[in-house]
Homo-oligomer: A and B are copies of this chain.
Amino acid sequence: MTLSQYIKDIRNPHLFLGIDGGQTKTLCILGNEEGKILSIGKGRGLEHILSPRGPEVAKLAFQEALSSCLFPYDPSSFEFECAFLGLTGVSRPDSEEAKSFTEVAKKIIKAKRIFVDSDPSIALAGAFFGKEGIIVIGGTGSVALGFDGTRYSRCGGFGYLFGDEGGGFQIALQAIKIALKYEDACHPPTLLWEKIIKNSSFSSIEEMVRSYYAGKIGRDQIALFTKSVKEAAEEGDRFAQEILLDAGRELAKLVDCVYRKLNFKGKIPTAGLGGVFNISLVKKSFEKNLDPSLYEIKEPEFPGVIGALIRAYQLAGIPLTSSLKENLKNSALKFIGVGLTHP
């Protein structure tokens, strides 16, 4: 069923909105009360909401995502039952960031209820269809989040200087430190040096380090050297391998921390999300470092944007039944490969 058919078919459609707002794009998804996904839209990425341009960028991102989701209809002609937004830069639903985003969202989205939470919270809801479980995200940074059916609990997520263990930036940083020591004649030979040089525009690691301190390259560029670590590990470099094994261990520790904080008993579903889990050595080490009597390692069921829709259903009191889940799965399939608008 397409959006236009659906709207024609019924007088008072009960519509729900899920939004996943990241740094590179903002996704928007529209579902009916049975879990049928009617449309998907996309807008620009967000900036930190407390930055000078933050509110204006958020407004544009929400407008673009919503308009592209509801095209060719006028967004202002829709009133949603519930809209749930999982947004980058939000740590908790009661934070200053969440309040500022909520203010902006209320100006763009007409809904009976609007909720804002962190992006990990929707990834978690997506991974386990709104049920209990723990996810750990290993992207550029790292953070773990768990839900016991009532409470959420987070571990890690303290950024590039004080945390982010197991994330891409720390993996790359460890590698650069070793390559720098090798260049400084303080470390045994390692493929890391040549892999980093190959993937960079620098002729020495020391030059790269100077460029970083001089503000010529940023942490995003540093994080890209995760690729060099992967390559060196695949070619048998034991220092590269140890960095990746250690990353898996650190990500598992974050999961253990959440398990303890939520006083979980017995076997809990767990998933590792984010780019670093595409590195097989990290994934293997992560799984090896989780006690099999405490964790059932699962692939995530839905992506974050559908997690946002699931949380919209939850908060509107729609029961998360197996038929709702089936509807989500089947209707989501339509949107594979058809671009980001309703088919």
Contacts and interface: CB of A to CB of B under 8 A. Distances in A.
B213 A159 contact: yes
Contact of A161 (B158, B159, B212, B257): B212
Interface string A172-194: 01001100110011100000000
Nearest to A144: B186
Nearest to A254: B186
Contact of A257 (B177, B184, B209, B213): B184
A158 B180 CA distance: 9
Interface in A142-196: 155-156, 158-159, 161-163, 173, 176-177, 180-181, 184-186
A107 interface: no
A216 interface: no
Interface residues of A, number: 24
B173 A155 contact: no
Nearest to A261: B185
A217 to B, nearest CB: 12
A253 interface: yes
A184 B213 contact: no
A260 interface: yes
Give chain A's interface secondary structure class.
Answer: helix
Contacts of A254: 186
B162 A184 contact: no
A159 B257 contact: no
A162 B257 contact: no
A277 B259 CA distance: 41
Contacts of A213: 159, 161
A184 B257 CA distance: 9
Interface string A79-97: 0000000000000000000
A151 B159 CA distance: 41
Contact of A186 (B155, B177, B181, B212): B155
Interface string A224-240: 00000000000000000
A180 B154 CA distance: 13
A162 B185 contact: no
A162 B186 contact: no
A253 B185 CA distance: 12
B163 A257 contact: no
Interface string A310-323: 00000000000000
A254 B155 CA distance: 34
A173 B162 contact: yes
A161 B185 contact: no
A225 to B, nearest CB: 12
A161 B173 contact: yes
B155 A209 contact: no
A205 to B, nearest CB: 8
A214 to B, nearest CB: 9
Nearest to A213: B159
Interface string A246-264: 0000000110010011000
10 contacts: A155-B184, A159-B213, A162-B177, A162-B212, A163-B177, A163-B180, A181-B257, A185-B260, A186-B253, A186-B254
Cβ-closest 3 pairs across A and B? A186-B257, A162-B209, A185-B261
